[in-house]
Structure 1
Amino acid sequence: MKKILSILLFVSFLFSCKNHEEKIEIYLLKNRVRTTEGIPVLEYVKLKNIKYNKNLENVKDCNYDSISKQFIYGGKFTVNKENIESKPLIADEDILKLNLKKNEFILSEIGKQKITQLKPNMKSGIQFVICVNKQPYLTGYFRSNISSNIYNWNYIGYDYFEHKIATIHDKHFVIRQNEGYEKWKPTLCNLNQYSELVSAFRNTNRIIE
């Protein structure tokens, strides 16, 4: 009887550990979330009594930085669970490693294809969020490597279009930011500020430091 009880307790322990292991996934959003930076373009137009014209139709969903006089195409944004799709774009098993020094997510071939097959939004990118057990932690954009727009917030560059000539585009899934909106000066995002996400990679033995 004691032997059977010990076996049951051991199985229960294994099941409990499995249930509590962090699951890391990447989700797309149900609808686009407006950046918290600047103010909506149409609000700025109304505030300044600027005459509305057809050109503003192209940027009506953007925010505007009234100090730098720049449109914000890839600014900071936050989400909650209600904003995310019901199923992940990239499943837990397809996120193999995180190279913390390089800010590189190492994905399975299936994971890579799911990103590179996303039809790009050349202007505003595609918003995503990285979750741990469906809790949102890191937001960002999938940005086409041939987009001419500057993103100030987290982004992962990718190639959707097939190139006949070798390019210098980043073939890896690295999270970067840019310093401001005017000049192209990409830098690595400081992932250590997302301590819960980094801990999840560390706790599941998927981190390279």
Structure 2
Amino acid sequence: GVGARSLRLTGMRVDGTEQIVAVGTSRPTREVSHLLRLLKLRIERIDPGMGLEQFQMVAPHTEPLDAVDLGAVLAGETLVRDPARLVDLIAGRIGMHSVFRIAPVESHVPERAVVKSDPNELPGTWPEWKRPIRLFAHPEPLHRVIALMPDQPPRRFEWRGTTYKVVGGDGPERVHGEWWRRDAEVWAVRDYYRVEDETGGRYWVFRRGDGFEDDTGDLSWWMHGVFG
């Protein structure tokens, strides 16, 4: 069978004008209770004016339903709860384009190594080194950095006008530039560190350059993410 991926409810007012609300689902479904719940999130947007005399509901977009393991159901096994319902409810409030999963892609450079994907897809395999919960799209410069060269994490740095004293750190994790993308990255190197400050804040910082060869970077320090 098929299930709805979208529903459109049209209300005809007595003055001949239309009021329309539409909902979408992340996966095809024919569960009436779920579709009604989604419509309830939008139904208040209808302005009845002097009154409504007719409603029409259509499903403009349908798709084949996903297969269900009936054998497991008959055997009484517990099925994994489908996250699509939750995704639909959240998307009904903030918009489908605002709900997504972060998935890894092949790239050495961290800001290129993630992509937005379908929230219902299973997560891929992440690098062995843990990545921060919040990864900045563009690294932010650090100032007044105190660090021992060539492979020690910073002891102190200033970021966004605040000075941070580091009490612990791991690294470096070396990341090389992707020379096939840009000539400027042929020799580029970043050394990443996970550091913790005296208040318990944990950050992901890196230094441009390996500390030996000038071509690898200018030895500037950057903030690239924040752990929990």
TM-score of the alignment, normalized to the shorter chain, above 0.5: no
Q: Which structure's relative contact order is higher, taking Cα pairs within 8 Å and 6+ residues apart?
A: 1
TM superposition score category, shorter chain reference: under 0.3
Which protein has the bigger strand share? 2
Please, what TM-score do these two structures have when normalized by structure 2? 0.23
